[in-house]
Chain A
Amino acid sequence: MSVQTWTFLIVGGTFALYIGIAIWSRANTTGDFYIAGRGVHPVVNGMATGADWMSAASFISMAGLISFMGYDGAVYLMGWTGGYVLLALLLAPYLRKFGKFTVPDFVGDRYYSNGARIVAVVCAVFVSFTYVAGQMRGVGVVFSRFLEVDINVGVGIGMAIVFFYAVLGGMKGITYTQAAQYCVLIFAYLVPAIFISILLTDKYIPQIGFGASLGGDIGSRIAGGETIKLMDKLNQLNTELGFAEYTSGKKSTLDVLCITGALMAGTAGLPHVIVRFYTVPKVRDARISAGWALFFIALLYTTAPAVAAFARTNLIDTVSDASYAGAEGEKSIPQWFKTWEDTGLLAWVDKNADGKVQYVAGAALAGKPKFAAADDGTPARGASGERLVTNSDPETKNELYVDRDIIVLANPEIANLPAWVIALVAAGGLAAALSTAAGLLLVVSTSVSHDLLKRVFVPSITEKQELLAARIAAAGAVMIAGYFGINPPGFVAQVVAFAFGLACSSFFPAIILGVFVKRANREGVVSGMLAGIIFTASYIIYFKFLGGTPDELWFGISPEGIGALGMLLNFAVAFVVSRFTPPPPQEVQDLVEHIRVPSGASGPSAMH
């Protein structure tokens, strides 16, 4: 069977599964819709959290990103996992005890202020939309690459699926589909990784192969008869070609500290992740569930750096000095190179006209490849048959452009794996994108129907009306997300820094103070949140949109890491202002006492 047939079968099969689950787990009450009736088993919640958290970017782009960053890729690995320790130890159990449905619920009640609630709602909606635009686009991209349909059609299909289970099932439907999606995506990630580990190091476990000697079919060829560790070979290859050593970084230590800190605290402060811990029956389930979530996430996150190292070693060895046209008696480039050239993820410019690929440090092109067309509209080709580009960068000697996404997408072909594995990668990418999108859309819908309507503007609405409002809001959010997927704003990549920066400089300190500092009051926390958000947002906007240059950065801290400083500022302002303003009312202090202890009924009116 061809790759396409396999892809239709596997993707179709998984979609049917998701729809089946949605029908089985329809939501009947707002409790079902917002928090799955608090009946989710901690292990299932762990899986759902894993899928919720791991987005299209984690699945498709992360290994590639690490592959090109080497050591510096650790900021993502540690940043996006270390946050779960904060979540399990400092947030999840207390928020679960508090009960209710959302993060703005906690902020609004703990700080006895609808102003604080609305600040929290605005942040939650902004963070979620920022994120969801990228997911819908991801769905479209996977469809167009693997099934050769138009990107917009792909986005449309993705919207229809999410619409079906998010609007029908709410949190209940989303939870069980996410658990299924986790299984699909982790299987799709691990199968090619294991195959490649065997091919390069003869080890079945990628995490072990990562540290082993080269061996196996491809590995022995690369080693050329000597016994050498994969890591040593990779450092050697990198330095020979003028790249930095793989195991050492280029970023400053302070910048690495700040980015890791911002990603960790941001992860712990993201509303779609926090809300998952409201769905388990007990406080102790919330603790252990965060452990399961991180366990399931770690399966992918410890495999990714191994895949990154395997793929980089293999890529350099395969393409470096290879003849494009496949001249007699010379090393020639493999077929997959030409396939991916057609998608624009690879491009080669023969700068020194020797017909061979020179891959060295420096950018080959100015930006992404712009392919030239011949007069009759067909792709223009050079002397060796390569596709010509119009934006070659003459300043550098590097001839090869490689998009980082290729590391995961082309892995199965690079390793010559069977067609069904390639189809599996498509289904995995879709599962990762759809699950994250659904979780985010639910946050948006809950913010509108619960935080704004029920808690602020129309407290008198009935349960039935609130559920209807939640469904309408979910439907509206799917439409808006789909619109952004079809017309992606040019700044999507830039605003991801925003999502983490905001979560880390607003929610994270507000929740921590709410649990651990009884004296923290409305005045303190609202001014802290505002200070944190304004500081972080101004820094990011200045450097990402107003043309700030790298030498103007404060102590070399990049915009991705500034949220860490914003968070410290938030803590400091909240602390000082709280000292000089009246303490919180007695019932709020009692609430803090109440959430610190697991026993006793969860929050007043936890399930209305």
Chain B
Amino acid sequence: MTTESEQKAPRAPHTAKHATAYWKRNLTLLVVFLAIWWVVSYGAGILWVDSLDKFTIPGTGFKLGFWFAQQGSIYVFVALIFIYSWLMNKLDKEFDVHED
């Protein structure tokens, strides 16, 4: 692992513009991911729970709003972190700011 990185030529320092572009892409991802985070918890689990409770998840006894509040939101949270982490690793490589 170390030998590989030693063989590479030292990276040229990036310009301030490059760093700003990277940061903007990150902020866009953050807005999208936090919007989903908000919708499944505060939205589906709290604010719209009564309307969603009129529906039942087919084949189960779960009212939809209740399920989001006690189960679904947590599953989405886990998925969000793994997907964000994967996308950021790609973004780091694209902008050549990854660590090794």
A212: B residues at CB distance < 8 A: 60-61
How would residues 20 to 40 of chain B score, 1 for a CB under 8 Å from any chain A CB and 0 otherwise? 001100100010011001000
| A72 nearest in chain B by CB position | B69
Given contacts A211-B57, A212-B61, A213-B61, contact A85 B71 (CB under 8 A): no
A71 to B53, CA, bound (A): 11
- Mark contacts of A68-95 with chain B using CB atoms, 8 A cut-off: 1 yes-contact digit, 0 otherwise: 0001011001100110110011100100
Cβ–Cβ contact A599 & B99, under 8 A: yes
B residues 55-100 with Cβ under 8 Å of A? 57, 60-63, 66-67, 69-71, 73-75, 77-78, 80-82, 84-85, 88-89, 92, 96-100
Per the bound structure, the CA–CA distance linking A596 and B92 in Å amounts to 11
Chain B nearest CB from A204 CB (Å) reads 16
State whether B77 touches A597 (Cβ < 8 A).
no
Do A593 and B53 contact each other (CB < 8 Å), given the known contacts A82-B73, A284-B99?
no
Q: Is the CB of A88 within 8 A of B84?
A: yes
**A311 proximal to B (CB < 8 A):** no
Give Cα A90–Cα B61 distance, bound, in whole angstroms.
Answer: 36
- Inter-chain contacts of A341 with B (CB < 8 A): none
Q: Taking the nearest CB of chain A, how far is it from the CB of B31, in angstroms?
A: 10
Interface digits, A521-539 against B, CB 8 Å rule (1 contact, 0 not)? 0000000000000000000
- Complex Cα distance A431/B61, Å? 34
Whether B19 and A82, one on each chain, are in contact in the complex, defined by CB atoms closer than 8 angstroms, is no
- Proximity bits, A17-48, B CB within 8 Å = 1, else 0: 00000000000000000000000000000000
Residues of A within 8 A of B71 (CB): 207, 210, 302, 305
Please tell me if B17 contacts chain A, counting CB pairs below 8 Å: no
In angstroms, how far is the closest chain B Cβ from the Cβ of A310? Answer: 13
User: Is A230 interfacial (CB 8 A cutoff)?
Assistant: yes
A82 to B70 CA separation, bound complex (whole angstroms): 12
Q: Are A282 and B99 in contact (CB under 8 A)?
A: yes
Known A90-B30, A599-B11: A85·B80 in contact at CB below 8 Å: yes
Q: Which of A82, A93, A229, A593 has the most CB of B within 10 A?
A: A82
The reply to whether B46 and A287 form a contact with Cβ atoms under 8 Å apart is no
- Residues on A with C-beta less than 8 A from B89 are 284
Q: How far apart are A554's CB and chain B's nearest CB, in angstroms?
A: 19
What's the dominant secondary structure at chain A's contact region?
helix
Are A74 and B45 in touch, CB under 8 angstroms? Answer: yes
Determine if A298 and B77 form an interchain contact, defined as CB atoms under 8 angstroms apart. Answer: yes
Q: How far is the CA of A295 from the CA of B75 in the complex (A)?
A: 9
Residues of A within 8 A of B37 (CB): 82, 85
Q: Are B30 and A89 in contact (CB under 8 A)?
A: yes
Instruction: Check if A247 is an interface residue, CB within 8 A of chain B.
Output: yes
How far apart are A225's CB and chain B's nearest CB, in angstroms? Answer: 18
Contacts known (A81-B74, A211-B62, A598-B92); A283 close to B99, Cβ less than 8 A: yes
Q: How far is the CB of A259 from chain B (nearest CB, A)?
A: 10
User: Could you tell me if B77 and A82 are in contact, using CB atoms closer than 8 angstroms?
Assistant: yes
Does the CB pair A88–B70 fall under 8 Å? no
A446 within 8 A of B: no
Q: Which residue of A lies closest to B14 (CB)?
A: A597
B56 to chain A, nearest CB (A): 9
User: Which residues of the other chain, A, contact B14 by a CB distance below 8 angstroms?
Assistant: 597
* A183-232 interface (Cβ within 8 A of B): 207, 210-213, 229-232
Chain B residues near A211 (CB, 8 Å)?
57, 60-62, 67
| Cα distance A284–B97 in the bound complex, in angstroms | 11
Q: How far is the CA of A337 from the CA of B57 in the complex (A)?
A: 36
Question: In whole angstroms, how far apart are the Cα atoms of A597 and B92 in the complex?
Answer: 8
A498 to B63, CA, bound (A): 34
> How far is B66's CA from A597's CA once the two chains are assembled, in angstroms?
40
Bound Cα distance A131, B8 (Å): 49
Residues of A near B61 (CB, < 8 A) are 211-213, 229-232
A74-B80 Cα distance, complex, nearest whole Å:
19
CB pair A598 B99 closer than 8 Å: yes
A88, B19: Cβ atoms closer than 8 Å: no
Looking at the complex, which one of A74, A253, A284 makes contact with B85 (CB distance below 8 Å)? Answer: A284
Interface residues of A in 299-345 (CB under 8 A from B): 301-302, 305
The residue from A73, A295, A298 contacting B70, defined by CB atoms under 8 A apart: A73
B47 touches A81 (CB 8 A): no
Whether A256 sits at the interface, judged by CB under 8 Å, is yes
CA distance A330 to B63 in the complex (A): 35
Closest 3 CB pairs of A and B: A229-B61, A211-B60, A231-B61
**Chain B residues in contact with chain A, CB under 8 A?**
11, 14, 16, 19, 22-23, 26, 30, 33-34, 37, 41-42, 45-47, 49, 53, 57, 60-63, 66-67, 69-71, 73-75, 77-78, 80-82, 84-85, 88-89, 92, 96-100
Q: What are 20 A-B residue pairs whose CB atoms fall within 8 Å in the complex?
A: A78-B41, A78-B74, A81-B74, A82-B41, A85-B80, A93-B88, A231-B62, A231-B63, A231-B66, A260-B42, A287-B84, A287-B85, A291-B85, A294-B77, A295-B78, A596-B23, A598-B97, A599-B92, A599-B97, A599-B98
